[in-house]
């Protein structure tokens, strides 16, 4: 359902939906031939329910009432929208920029349709280098990000990043501490902002798939599936039952190889490297199996618009052996006093905080919130085989246990859907008719980190007019500083890994 509402009606309509149990899944700004427009997507389930509110804005004054006082995620979506589109959320309680970095010129909004190309640092868009001491046509650079300083006796700051050791993506963390105790942590992201939403525009539907698969590299299936579900809704495409089973199986394969890696790295962060070595051994086996199934170690190419493509089916005996190995490693970890002691009570995120922040996935389920898109927004029938583990400890131990138990559930689901498939192959729907034209669609998928939402609008020629993907990391990143309050600095790597949020998925 979607409703066109006036800006004066937005706040009461949103409040009504939130009070009724819906959550805000995304806010998507648009600039089309009629000027600026903002779409608010609210979802709930079961049963699967989606409600869109469309607000048309004045071209000369692109302003909209803020929903930040009703929803914490809304406040972040609004700040992102202002930074990229120049649409102002009125009366926003925290009007600081979110996406914009030091070198971006003021007045330059890259998602507007007629914006010039990104300027070089110190140069206005489309202009020759400015003479020394002159102000570029788009205004001066944004300048340093305003971090809140914590003052008091014994308080000092520890800056970490944005460049980190190893393979971790860039993000800047600023700790205000007394001794080793963290008083406040501020995370500054968007160092890998890639303009993904702009890159989708004008592509054909097949050309959009490789981009969707690369939004966050470890979530190729989740983002590809959300994109394809949105496309199929927009075009009225009915996906064959076999393809839905294949997609569900691939989604669980992706969940297993990521969770297995995290279990080992959590053990590694408390000094138990041998358990990490064994989990990486198992992950390698799973990645090789992925390549056999789809031709790619990260399962790219398995989910396609209208269906799925499998080269082979997973061997149940191999998966059973891997499952036994994982359970043994988990038991060894939880039976080790150092591991359990370091996990227990560390970086606790309570249910109330998780709910207010809008947490998703295993972060929410480890804090007692039983949220899962496979139940709320199913794309296939799980026939009673889906058991969603929930813990209420909210600490590193709870996030470890949720992952370990989800692996067992995923392995059972893989076996179930493999039995239903009988043989590998390419399972495709009939292509949409030539007169399919424009349309809109939404895809909601429980990726391994949590619920992925993708909204698509197609142009009259069938190309992508607007794609708005939202990774669960966008919702979960604000919870990390909350969980780390009163935690010691040496536990930051352990806590960070227990959340394991995607920088790339956040920094679209």
Q: Report pLDDT for 136.
A: 46
Number of structural domains found in the chain: 2
CA neighbours within 13 Å on the CB side: how many for 120? Answer: 5
CATH number at residue 233: 1.10.645.10
> Does residue 492 share a domain with residue 361?
yes
Report residue 200 as tokens. 């989708």
Cβ(405)–Cβ(436) below 8 Å: no
Cβ(222)–Cβ(452) below 8 Å: yes
Q: For residue 401, is it within any domain?
A: yes
> Does residue 226 share a domain with residue 82?
no
Q: Report pLDDT for 132.
A: 37
CATH number at residue 23: 3.30.460.80
What average pLDDT values come out for the chain (508 residues) when binned by 10 residues? Answer: 94 97 97 92 96 95 96 97 95 91 86 72 47 49 82 88 81 92 92 92 96 96 98 95 97 98 95 95 97 97 96 95 96 94 96 97 97 96 93 97 97 96 90 72 98 96 95 97 94 94 94
d(CA 286, CA 407): 12
d(CA 386, CA 375): 8
> Does residue 367 share a domain with residue 490?
yes
Nearest to 476 by CA among 505, 442, 456: 505
Q: Report pLDDT for 223.
A: 98
> Does residue 488 share a domain with residue 387?
yes
User: Which residue range is the domain that position 19 belongs to?
Assistant: 1-113+141-146
Q: For residue 123, is it within any domain?
A: no
Q: Report pLDDT for 138.
A: 60
457 is in an annotated binding site: no
Residue 143 CB partners (closer than 8 Å, separation 6+)? 102
Q: For residue 179, is it within any domain?
A: no
Residue 491 CB partners (closer than 8 Å, separation 6+)? 342, 346, 347, 484
Q: Look up residue 471 and give its DSSP letter.
A: -
Report residue 454 as tokens. 């993708």
Q: Report pLDDT for 257.
A: 97
pTM of the entire predicted model: 0.94
**Residue where a domain stops, chosen among 105, 125, 146:** 146
d(CA 197, CA 279): 35
Residue 184: beta bridge partners?
Answer: 176
């Amino acid at each position: 359902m979607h409703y066109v509402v006036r800006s004066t009606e937005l706040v009461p309509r949103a409040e009504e939906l939130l009070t009724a149990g819906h959550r805000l899944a995304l806010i998507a700004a648009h600039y089309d031939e009629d000027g600026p427009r903002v779409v608010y997507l609210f979802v709930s389930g079961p049963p699967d329910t989606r409600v869109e509110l469309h607000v048309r804005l004045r071209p000369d004054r692109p302003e909209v009432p803020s929903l930040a006082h009703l929803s914490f995620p809304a406040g972040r979506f609004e700040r992102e929208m202002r930074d990229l589109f120049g649409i102002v959320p009125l009366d926003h309680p925290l009007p600081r920029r979110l996406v914009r970095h030091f070198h971006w010129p003021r007045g330059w909004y890259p998602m507007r349709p007629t914006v010039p190309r990104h300027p070089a640092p110190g140069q206005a868009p489309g202009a020759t280098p400015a003479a020394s001491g002159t102000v570029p046509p788009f205004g001066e650079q944004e300048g340093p990000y305003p971090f809140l300083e914590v003052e008091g006796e014994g308080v000092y700051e520890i800056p970490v990043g944005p460049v980190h050791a190893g393979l971790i993506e860039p993000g800047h963390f600023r700790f205000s501490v007394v001794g080793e105790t963290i008083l406040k942590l501020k995370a500054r992201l968007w160092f890998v902002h890639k303009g993904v939403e702009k890159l989708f525009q004008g592509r054909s539907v097949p050309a959009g798939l490789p981009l969707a698969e690369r939004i966050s590299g470890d979530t190729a299936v989740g983002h590809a599936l959300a994109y394809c579900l949105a496309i199929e809704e927009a075009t009225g495409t009915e996906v064959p039952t076999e393809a839905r089973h294949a997609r569900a199986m691939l989604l669980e394969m992706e969940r297993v190889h990521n969770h297995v890696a995290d279990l080992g790295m959590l053990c590694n962060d408390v000094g138990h490297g041998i358990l990490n070595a064994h989990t990486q051994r198992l992950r390698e086996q799973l990645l090789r199996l992925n390549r056999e199934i789809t031709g790619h170690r990260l399962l790219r190419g398995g989910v396609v618009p209208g269906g799925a493509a499998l080269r082979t089916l997973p061997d149940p005996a191999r998966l059973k052996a891997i499952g036994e190995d994982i359970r043994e490693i988990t038991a060894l970890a939880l039976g080790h006093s150092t591991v359990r002691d370091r996990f227990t009570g560390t970086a606790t995120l309570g249910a109330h905080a998780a709910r207010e922040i809008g947490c998703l996935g295993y972060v929410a389920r480890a804090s007692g919130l039983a949220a899962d898109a496979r139940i709320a927004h199913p794309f296939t029938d799980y026939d009673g085989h889906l058991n969603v583990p929930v813990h209420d400890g909210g600490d590193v131990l709870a996030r470890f246990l949720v992952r370990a138990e989800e692996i067992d559930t995923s392995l059972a689901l893989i076996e179930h859907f493999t039995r239903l498939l009988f043989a590998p192959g390419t399972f495709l729907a009939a292509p949409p008719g030539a007169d399919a034209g424009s349309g809109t669609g939404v895809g909601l998928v429980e990726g391994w980190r949590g619920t992925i939402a993708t909204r698509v609008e197609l142009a009259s020629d069938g190309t992508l007019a607007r794609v708005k993907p939202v990774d669960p990391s966008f919702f979960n990143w604000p919870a990390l500083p909350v969980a780390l309050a009163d935690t010691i600095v040496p536990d930051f790597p352990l806590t960070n890994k227990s959340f394991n949020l995607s920088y790339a998925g956040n920094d679209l």
